[in-house]
Structure 1
Amino acid sequence: MGTRIKSIVLLLYFAAFTIPYATFCFIVFPFLSAPRRYWVAAGWCRVTLNVLRTLNGIRYRIEGMENLPDGPAVLLVKHQSAWETLALPGLMPKPLCFVFKKELVYVPFFGWALGMLKMIKIDRKQGGAAFASVLKQGQARLADGSWVIMFPEGTRIPVGRRGKYKSGGTRFAVGAQAPIVPIAHNAGHLWPRNSWLKYPGMVTLSIGKPIPTAGRNIDEVNREVEAWIETEMRRIDPAAYTAPYSPDDATLYVRGSKADSRAVD
Structure 2
Amino acid sequence: METSGANSLLRYRKLENFFRASTSENIGAPSKVAAGEEVGRQADVFTDDDGWVSIMISWLKIITCLMTMMVTTIIWALIMVVLIPWPYERVRQGNIYGHVTGRLMMWILGNPVKIEGSEFANERAIYISNHASPIDVCLIMWLIPTGTVGIAKKEIIYYPFFGQLYVLANHLRIDRSNPTAAIRSMSEVARAVVENKLSLVIFPEGTRSKTGRLLAFKKGFVHLALQTRLPIVPMVLTGTQRAWAKGSMHVRASPLAVKYLPPIKTDEWVADKIDDYVKLVHDLYIQHLPESQRPLVAPDPCNKS
- Provide the TM-score with structure 1 as the length reference: 0.79
SS in 2 for 1:181: strand
Moved more, 59-68 or 21-30: 21-30
- Which of 258, 261, 285 aligns to 1:205? It is 258
% identical equivalent positions:
21
Q: Tell whether the 8 Å contact from 1:46 to 1:87 is kept in structure 2 after alignment.
A: no
Deviations 1:231-256 (A, max 9, x none): 1003xxx4x26xxx79962699xxxx
Q: Using the alignment, how far apart are the partners of 1:114 and 1:47 within structure 2?
A: 13
- Which of 277, 285, 294 aligns to 1:221? It is 277
The letter for the 2-side match of 1:224 is: L
Alignment-derived partner of residue 5 in structure 1 = 56
- Which of 114, 135, 140 aligns to 1:61? It is 114
Q: Using the alignment, how far apart are the partners of 1:103 and 1:250 within structure 2?
A: 29
SS in 2 for 1:201: coil
Alignment-derived partner of residue 8 in structure 2 = none
Moved more, 186-195 or 13-22: 13-22
Alignment-derived partner of residue 263 in structure 1 = none
Which structure features the higher share of helix residues?
A: 2
- Provide the TM-score with structure 2 as the length reference: 0.70
Q: Tell whether the 8 Å contact from 2:68 to 2:101 is kept in structure 1 after alignment.
A: no
Matches within 5 A, 1:84-163: 84-125=136-177, 127-159=179-211, 161-163=213-215
Deviation of residue 143 (structure 1)?
4.0
Q: Cα gap change, 1:50/1:14 in structure 2, threshold over 3 Å: closer, same or farther?
A: closer
Q: Using the alignment, how far apart are the partners of 2:190 and 2:218 within structure 1?
A: 18
Alignment-derived partner of residue 249 in structure 1 = 298
Q: Cα gap change, 1:176/1:247 in structure 2, threshold over 3 Å: closer, same or farther?
A: farther
* Unpaired stretches in structure 2, ≥5 consecutive residues: 1-51
Q: Using the alignment, how far apart are the partners of 2:204 and 2:126 within structure 1?
A: 11
Deviation of residue 96 (structure 1)?
2.7
Q: Tell whether the 8 Å contact from 1:120 to 1:138 is kept in structure 2 after alignment.
A: no
Q: Tell whether the 8 Å contact from 1:96 to 1:148 is kept in structure 2 after alignment.
A: yes
The letter for the 2-side match of 1:132 is: R
Q: Using the alignment, how far apart are the partners of 1:39 and 1:83 within structure 2?
A: 22
Alignment-derived partner of residue 6 in structure 2 = none
Q: Tell whether the 8 Å contact from 2:232 to 2:263 is kept in structure 1 after alignment.
A: yes
Matches within 5 A, 1:44-55: 45-53=99-107, 55=108
Deviation of residue 185 (structure 1)?
1.2
Deviation of residue 177 (structure 1)?
1.4
Q: Tell whether the 8 Å contact from 2:91 to 2:171 is kept in structure 1 after alignment.
A: no
Aligned-pair RMSD on alpha carbons?
2.8
Alignment-derived partner of residue 4 in structure 2 = none
Q: Cα gap change, 1:39/1:214 in structure 2, threshold over 3 Å: closer, same or farther?
A: closer
* Unpaired stretches in structure 1, ≥5 consecutive residues: 253-265
